Amino acid sequence: MADRYLRWTNTGPGRFLSRRLGLPQPTPLHRWSAERPVLEGGPLLHLTAAHSACGTEELATALGGSGLEVRREADPKTRCAAVVLDATGVRAVAELRGVYEGLHPVMRSLATCARIIVLGAVPDPQDHHQAAAQQALEGFVRSLGKEAGGGRTAQLVRLAPGATARSAESTLRFLLSPKSAYVSGQVIEIRDAEPVEGPDWTRPLAGRTALVTGSARGIGESVAATLARDGAKVVCLDVPQAEDDLARVAERLRGEALPLDITADDAAERIAEALGGEPLDVLVHNAGITRDRKLANMGADRWDSVLEVNLDSVLRTTDRLLKAGALREGTGRVVATASIAGIAGNVGQTNYAASKAGIVGLVRALAPRAAEEYGVTVNAVAPGFIETKMTAAVPLFIREAGRRMNSHSQGGLPIDVAETTAWFASPFSGGVNGQVVRVCGQSLLGA
């Protein structure tokens, strides 16, 4: 359903009235398209607070992949499409002044839909002064994202010990592009990873195979289409009842349709059989259901079905595919779908929130072991209010609250979840592991 309020507030009368009445004034977001693939509005400003602990020249090279002109000094007469502040060397409270001095002068010169990235270090448990200063960056960035306005976003990217700017290049490219339009206020940790040679940045999944569950419609369909755009051969999986829609999607994407109930006990074996012995490069767990009721009114069948589809089938299928060696060693990717409901909770969704919080637990626990034993990364997207047929059926006032209660004052689109999934899925994203990234426009609910 179209967001009529968004359209109205971007007309002359709408802007005037919403400003006079103090109503939200959402900015149309610049999302990626072949015609507008790069942020607009000026150069990328590369600043340093205190000193760099990741190598200034190496970071400059990584930033060059954004497609933006990189400058080291601000020009008060020039607007900026993005600013990256390197705070990896900040180890004391006094050095946080460099963060203020770097960003304060440029905030008024940021273009609409600009990007702000603070590059930090993982807090050191052996140095509480460094840990305090680096943790301070999280509160700073989350607050900055909420006050920046105008479709702008703010993120904190932390480099783990041993990680380099090159390890973070995939993440920096994503966050500095229109593909991250609905991702803001996030803290993303980058670990050390071996450089990947061969793939093309424009089609990183060429020659690779991806399987997307729940791909007959909605977010799953968008994820499948985006992975296909990036070069993947996509296996589209959904329940047999959706076989007609599934076949249509698979045909359009030149992929394969696999009608299968993911909760079937032999689902993993049937997936492996459908792959014909070839390893799977990307496994996207998108299938999910809701069976909402307050706990006092919830029957056991509603509880069981949601936990089975949304969580237990994900655990079971992932375990079996990993054990069978069905995910490509070294560059295999597992991407699961959590939800902001699993982080902040939601009335009438104790079953759904439990299942999605369980996905967060799965990712945090499995990621380091999967990387060590199988060379596979495990991450999750956590969508907020996304404009789908399901949310279109939500009562008007609840729907409007969902749209406005985030820093962008609007709902996200399925493509926003899909672009984040594609970033996780990229062979260049080996340094991204164990992360749960909210795609919610920086919702005002939850951390």
Listed in sequence order, the residues at least 6 apart from 11 whose beta carbon sits closer than 8 Å to its beta carbon are none
Closest CA to 266 of 317, 328, 192, 327: 317
Q: Which amino acid makes up residue 87?
A: A
Please tell me which residue, 50 or 233, carries the higher pLDDT value: 233
| Per-residue pLDDT band at 270 (split at 50, 70, 90) | very high
For residues 43 and 80, the answer to whether their CB atoms sit within 8 Å is yes
Whether 209-439 and 22-190 are alike in CATH topology: the answer is: yes
Residue 447: is its pLDDT beyond 70?
A: no
For residues 82 and 41, the answer to whether their CB atoms sit within 8 Å is no
Q: What are the phi and psi torsion angles at 235 (to 5°)? A: -100, 115
Closest CA to 436 of 385, 382, 386: 382
Span 169-223, pLDDT tens digits: 999 999 999 999 999 999 999 999 988 887 899 999 999 999 999 999 999 999 9
State the fold for domain 22-190: Rossmann fold (3.40.50)
Parallel, antiparallel, or unpaired for β 256-259 and 233-238?
A: parallel
For the sheet with 186-190, list strands across it: 70-71, 44-48, 80-86, 110-121, 153-159, 186-190
Q: Report the catalytic residues.
A: 352
**Residue given tokens 């050095």 in the structure block:** 95
Domain range summary for the chain, segments of one domain joined by +: 22-190, 209-439
Parallel, antiparallel, or unpaired for β 282-285 and 332-337?
A: parallel
pTM over 0.85? The answer is yes
Cα(255)–Cα(247) distance, rounded to whole angstroms?
9
Q: What is the CATH number of domain 209-439?
A: 3.40.50.720
Span 43-65, pLDDT tens digits: 999 999 988 998 889 999 999 99
Cα(99)–Cα(275) distance, rounded to whole angstroms?
50
Q: Where are the beta strands (DSSP E) in 92-172?
A: 110-121, 153-159
What pLDDT score was predicted for residue 1? Answer: 64
